[in-house]
Amino acid sequence: MTYEKLDLQSPDGVQGNVEKIRELFPNVVTEGPDGLAVDFDALRQELSDTIVEGPQERYRLDWPGKRAAMLAANTPISKTLRPVREESVDFDTTQNLFIEGDNLDALKLLQDSYLGKVKMIYIDPPYNTGNDFIYKDNFTQGKNEYLEESGQVREDGGRLVANPESNGRYHSDWLSMMYPRLKLARNLMRDDGIIFVSIDDNELPGLQKLCDEIFGENNFIGNLIWSKKRKGSFLSKKLVSVTEYIVAYGKNSEIRLFGGKADASESQPLIKRTNNVSKLEFPAGTVTTKLSDGTISAGQYGKGSSSVKILDDIQIENGEISSVLKIEGPFIWSQEYLDKQIKNGAQLVVNTQNFQVRAFKAPDENSFKALSSLLDGVKIRATNEDGYEEIVATFGSPVMDYPKPINLIKYLLEAVGQWDDSFILMDFFAGSGPSAVAAMSYSTLSEKSVRTISVQLPEVSLPESEAHKQNLHTIAEISKERIRRAGAKILEDNTDQTGNLDIGFRVLKIDSSNMKDVHADPSELKQGELLDSVSHIKPDRSGEDLLFQVMLNQGIELSQSITRETVGGKAVYSVGEDNLAACFDDNISDELVKNIANRKPLYAIFRDESFKEPADKINAAQIFKQLTEGHTRMKVI
């Protein structure tokens, strides 16, 4: 018999607190001499806005620049997202976003609006082969210098730098680039969210250790081995390169991945020798055998750790066990799950020589194959050659090197999306846009709703490139145009679904804040600048620019529906179903305030200088209080 020894001590409060800290900051919990321990230096860094000195020796991944990378993830930026209607498709109705700019900035800006909302992330970052480029994040300056730089500098592709193997911090610079981006990405993932990262042999070890720290080692799902080529190419080590990896981590350890429907013709053994011994009762008439009739005596059957114990004598009639079968053994099913399977029609078979029970499972939500770690690109038409042919079919020439094949990402979508009718896919290394295209195709075929968030830096294409010849001057332009053309092709091929397909996207570009820099000393301002500072909003910013900054600030999803109407000669914006109403015009009247108040939105937003006098602003607040009974929160910017 087996038994469990009771622990009569009171709960270990220290370990309980460590577990709580681990939930908030998995990267600060490491291995100690007596179990899990808190890396207090790392915890201090999480709670500090300056670089914390004083590392101690411990089991962890470390590199020059790690503390600066940790600081980078937590340092705020003075930027916003500006809508660009003319580059968008179906701006007013689409649920998809395309963000142009540095992905680190984008991830920071999305923290409130998409916290815990993203089901799947797929990224294809630079592989750090020595021949590609990485983001050069400058975090060596002080916080004020960093904020000043991050708030004023527009991104035009100059943030990417070569990272040759001769660089003394070749691996360190790559890890420093990836760390803050992955850390911020984790915040956006749902509790059942998953991230897939494409990589090759070069940085696979470092990436996995980095993800162990950020997502938690226990949340490692596995490495998918992607067979990427129809024909291999020689590496410097004289190996034929035919595979890459897709590293998968979950937000928790209970993630399920769909690998196809279970084959009803295949049976499953219910006994696994490494499992704990438990007891199952099989009702009379539910188990069949090859023995036609007879009596089986109670006792031990089978050999070794797979042996089982029959607790009572049993009767067999016409190939069925006609009495209740009670067995002790290392079962993989619980009694509850067995009862459910029997109720749903599962077939149970037993060998009366060793009583190794097997089951032909009944279909239910768990009747699926686990995803194979081997992803055969040739079989599913998801090879590098397929990716090349897809981009040429869209543009007529290879405007992008090594684009990921559409079917590769569709394969991952199918693995993740089996139990969700609607979810968000994010790709913050969007490249030529295969993730957005794959999501549109998958949604069309599966009738599911996959919303996408794509982020791409406007990295400049070379003058001699095929992209440049087609007036596609940045990688972001390639991506946007590809999504446009792919969406048009999907509509052309599915005319019966016109109106039901979301093949659009809202283009949002990262820019400096809509607000002027109000931190300058008045003595440093010239007279004209002093007068101009009466309005703290930059003169080139529109009402829609302000609206999106407010949505970011209030944590509202940027794909919410937006309507614009004119009320009393003023532009009024409404977001979602009474989520937010805003007017940024001057000289707001009481009538307009009452019009908005009668809608009872959650938030009503105005410019501070929209009111002629301070008393007008106080009066507006009173109107909202009276007409909405406190339901609406009035705010000014």
Give the count of beta carbons closer than 10 Å to the beta carbon of residue 520: 12
Phi first, then psi: what are they for 395, rounded to 5°?
-110, -10
Question: How open is the CA angle 257-262-266, to the nearest 5 degrees?
Answer: 140
Domain C-terminal end among 333, 364, 395: 364
Task: Cite the beta strand spans of 107-204 per DSSP E.
Answer: 118-123, 133-135, 160-162, 189-199
| DSSP symbol at 269 | E
Provide the pLDDT for residue 398: 92
Number of domains forming the structure of the chain: 4
Domain C-terminal end among 364, 396, 422: 364
In this structure, the answer to whether residues 286 and 322 fall within a common structural domain is yes
Q: Measure the CA–CA gap between 614 and 446, rounded to whole angstroms.
A: 55
Q: Measure the CA–CA gap between 471 and 581, rounded to whole angstroms.
A: 39
Residue 207 lies in a domain: yes
Residue 478 lies in a domain: yes
Q: Measure the CA–CA gap between 151 and 77, rounded to whole angstroms.
A: 6
Q: Measure the CA–CA gap between 62 and 42, rounded to whole angstroms.
A: 11
Give Cα separations from 278 to 20, 309, 328, 350, 417 (angstroms): 32, 10, 6, 17, 34
Residue 355: give the domain boundaries.
263-364
Q: Measure the CA–CA gap between 125 and 200, rounded to whole angstroms.
A: 10
Neighbour-count burial for 357-384, b at 16+ CB within 10 Å, e otherwise: bebbbbeeeeebeebeeebebeebebbb
Residue 255 lies in a domain: yes
In this structure, the answer to whether residues 121 and 256 fall within a common structural domain is yes
Q: Measure the CA–CA gap between 192 and 424, rounded to whole angstroms.
A: 12
β-pair partners for 581 = 574, 604
In this structure, the answer to whether residues 203 and 323 fall within a common structural domain is no
* pLDDT beneath 50: ranges in the chain: 1-6, 8-10, 139-143, 145-147, 149-158, 519-525, 527-533
Residue 529 lies in a domain: no
In this structure, the answer to whether residues 327 and 193 fall within a common structural domain is no
| CATH for 81 | 3.40.50.150
Helices (H) and strands (E) in the chain, counts: 17, 34
Provide the pLDDT for residue 414: 93
Cβ burial, residue 472 (10 Å; 0-12/13-18/19+):
buried
In this structure, the answer to whether residues 592 and 560 fall within a common structural domain is yes
In this structure, the answer to whether residues 47 and 106 fall within a common structural domain is no
3-state SS string for 290-320: CCCCEEECCEEECCHHHCEEECCCEEEECCE
Residue 151 lies in a domain: yes
Q: Determine the angle formed by the axes of helices 475-493 and 384-395, rounding to 10 degrees.
A: 80
Cβ atoms of 316 and 294 within 8 Å: the answer is yes
In this structure, the answer to whether residues 624 and 504 fall within a common structural domain is no
Give the count of beta carbons closer than 10 Å to the beta carbon of residue 334: 11
Domain C-terminal end among 364, 393, 423: 364
In this structure, the answer to whether residues 19 and 113 fall within a common structural domain is no
Give Cα separations from 295 to 27, 303, 354, 482 (angstroms): 60, 21, 15, 71
In this structure, the answer to whether residues 232 and 376 fall within a common structural domain is yes
Q: Which residues contact 343 (CB under 8 A, 6 or more apart)?
A: none
Provide the pLDDT for residue 256: 82
Q: Which residues contact 495 (CB under 8 A, 6 or more apart)?
A: none
| DSSP symbol at 64 | T
Phi first, then psi: what are they for 119, rounded to 5°?
-80, -45
Residue 70 lies in a domain: no
In this structure, the answer to whether residues 153 and 254 fall within a common structural domain is yes
Residue 527 lies in a domain: no
Q: Measure the CA–CA gap between 450 and 435, rounded to whole angstroms.
A: 11
In this structure, the answer to whether residues 472 and 594 fall within a common structural domain is no
Closest CA to 542 of 518, 562, 528, 522: 562
DSSP code string of 383-429:
SHHHHHHHHHHHHSS--SSSPPPHHHHHHHHHHHGGG-SEEEEEESS
β-pair partners for 573 = 564, 582
In this structure, the answer to whether residues 117 and 193 fall within a common structural domain is yes
β-pair partners for 81 = 510
Residue type, 591: E
Residue 314 lies in a domain: yes
List, for residues 115-130, the tens digit of each pLDDT value.
999 999 999 999 877 6
Provide the pLDDT for residue 582: 94
Provide the pLDDT for residue 335: 94
Q: Measure the CA–CA gap between 90 and 501, rounded to whole angstroms.
A: 11
